[in-house]
Amino acid sequence: MNSAAAIARLEQASSLAAKCRLCPRRCGVNRMRGEIGACGAGRHARLFMEYVHWAEDADIVPAQTLYLTGCNLSCRFCQTADERARLPSARLDSKLFAGILARGKAAGARTVNILGGEPTVNLPALLEIFAETGDFPGLVWNSNLYGTAEAFALLDGIVDIYMGDIKFGNSACAKKLAGAADAGEAAAERAMEIFARSPEALIVRHLLLPGHFACCAEPVLRWIACHLPGVRVSLKTVYMPPRDLAERQPEKRFLTPEETSRANRLALSLGLRLTRDAASPPPGGDETGNTPGIEPTAFETIIASDGAVYLRHVTREASEMLRAAVGGPY
């Protein structure tokens, strides 16, 4: 992470937020004066959860992961929306950030994974923090890519890895599932811009959604193969239906083995460069720490009707508990 670039671009980012046009909603509020945008974010970045994540893509773990409030999409399947609304948050400043980085480094973290929510809506506050913190390695911008070209251009040379979601294959699904008909289009445009600047910095992630193979998974994977040749692709098959989703909704179920297999076969037939999930971490080490105003991370295990086990917020301690339960690596 280049702190000099963060300093140089802070004024431009603040200008974008003063009449907010950080994302395609362009709500126009003065975020720099504390007005709240359509995303729910204001002047300062707020943190509601952080821990060293061991269950993301192998290319970025172990990752010191920070979850920020504020998001410009309303995905009905979001796994952190409830936590963002329910958990207490603390203002993230350079002092708190430096302390989190130090704890992460001591626990073996090799990247700093910023997500939320959506980090781009907190761009001015984050650039200010980066400028005050100084250089550090391995910044991952974990994004829905629903930002403007102007905002993402300011990240060039600052972000080491973009973990960018392309979720939807058409405007109808984007509108229905995320409240923004242009979500897929905007994500595709930002992905192409990042790829043109620094192809190895981009990992495109697509989360398989139950019942959305023909409308979303297939067109997205074919589009990636055509427009982003050789890009790293994270095909996520760990969809978990939110507890608060109505039973009648088609997304209120887990993926079937057939859906997962079909998507993997298509990805391989297209020659996509698939990433892999991280293996279980080695035993030992300590990653505990206390962030003022933040509750300890709650590890969650969900068992599907077919017996499959899904994990959320996998810390080292949680992985060791699972290792003991299954008698070895998992």
Q: Is residue 202 part of a domain?
A: yes
| Per-residue CA distances from 266 to 223, 273, 301 (Å) | 12, 12, 29
In a domain, 126, yes or no: yes
Minimal CA–CA distance to 55: which of 259, 290, 300, 243? 300
Strand partners, 142: 163
Instruction: Tell me if 152 sits within 8 A of 26, measured CB to CB.
Output: no
Q: What is the pLDDT of residue 79?
A: 85
Look at the pTM and tell me if it is higher than 0.85.
Answer: yes
* In a domain? residue 189: yes
Domain assignment of residue 81, yes or no: yes
CATH number for position 142: 3.20.20.70
Task: Identify the pLDDT of residue 330.
Answer: 45
> Is 188 a member of any domain?
yes
Q: Which residue has the tokens 């480094």?
A: 105
DSSP label at residue 255: P
Number of structural domains (the chain) is 1
Sort residue 167 into left (φ over 0), alpha (ψ -120 to 50) or beta: alpha
Q: Give the orientation angle of helix 123-133 with respect to helix 94-106, to 10 degrees.
A: 70
pLDDT for 189: 98
pLDDT values of the chain reduced to their tens digit, one per residue, 330 residues: 788 999 999 999 999 999 999 999 999 999 999 999 999 999 999 999 999 998 889 999 999 999 999 999 999 999 888 888 888 999 999 999 999 999 999 999 999 999 988 999 999 999 999 999 999 989 999 999 999 999 999 999 999 999 999 999 999 999 999 999 999 999 999 999 999 999 999 999 999 999 999 999 999 999 999 999 999 999 999 898 877 766 677 888 999 999 999 999 999 999 999 998 766 555 555 555 567 666 666 655 555 666 665 555 665 555 555 555 555 544
Q: Does residue 323 lie in a domain region?
A: no
The domain in which residue 195 lies consists of 3-298
Residue 116 maps to a domain: yes
pLDDT value for 197? 97
Residue 84 lies in a domain: yes
How big, in percent rounded to 5, are the helix, strand and coil portions of the chain?
35, 15, 45
Taking each helix axis from N to C terminus, what angle separates 171-178 and 183-197, rounded to the nearest 10 degrees? 110
